[in-house]
Amino acid sequence: MREELLSILEKNSRIDLKELAVLLGAEEIDVANEIKKLEEEGIICGYHTLINWDKTSIDKVSALIEVKVTPQRGQGFDKIAERIYNYPEVRAVYLISGGYDLLVTLEEKTLREIANFVSDKLSTLDSVLSTATHFVLKKYKDHGTVFDKKHEDEREIITP
């Protein structure tokens, strides 16, 4: 049940317990217990909403920053990653294989704020060797959902 439950919730975290139980062919109480367990185990980490900010009048600028760092003895990349993710403006931090070490995503109101974060906070950290900042121009798809695409049913109305 666990995998199917997670895949439903990942797409629709607002689904109510009764319906969830029907879809899974399980008892409500078992589903409720399983969700509780998943929360306690830190597998379910939150119930967020996917928003296409571009459609609002609110200005947001996102950036992806490639960061090269010096790993620290005994702690690898974890310590420096923590230094970075503790900034509330940082949305995500990934350890990456290949040409650089950490990928940091950032969301701010203005370009200037992102520039300030990079120059004042990120680059000045001791173990940061270099950064490369990429600004997001347009988001086509996020969390498996294509923005701005209406799905028309092109099938015939009745077929055998």
Partner 1 sequence: MTKPLSDAVQSLKPSGIRKFFDIVSEMKDAISLGVGEPDFDTPWHIRDEGIFALEKGKTFYTSNSGLKELREEICNYLKRKQNIKYDPQSEVIVTVGGSEAIDIGLRALINPGDEVIIPQPSYVSYEPCAILAGAKPVIINLKAENEFRLTAEELKNAITDKTKVLILPYPNNPTGAIMEQKDLEEIAKIIIEKDIYVMSDEIYAELTYKGEHVSIASLDGMKERTILINGFSKAYAMTGWRLGYACAPKEIIKQMTKIHQFAIMCAPTTSQYAAVEALKHGDEDIKMMRQAYNQRRRFLLNAFKEMNLECFEPYGAFYVFPCIKEFGMTSEEFATRFLEEEKVAAVPGNAFGDSGEGYLRISYAYSLDNLKIAMERLKRFVQNLRK
Q: Which residues bind partner 1 (CB under 8 A)?
A: 4, 7-8, 19, 22-25, 153, 155-160
CB 43, min distance to partner 1, A: 19
When the beta carbons of 35 and 103 are compared against partner 1, the nearer one is 35
Contact 69, 77 (CB under 8 A): yes
Contact 111, 135 (CB under 8 A): yes
Structure tokens at 105: 């995503």
How many residues appear in the chain?
160
CB 145, min distance to partner 1, A: 14
When the beta carbons of 49 and 159 are compared against partner 1, the nearer one is 159
Ramachandran angles phi, psi of 14, nearest 5°? -90, 0
When the beta carbons of 40 and 156 are compared against partner 1, the nearer one is 156
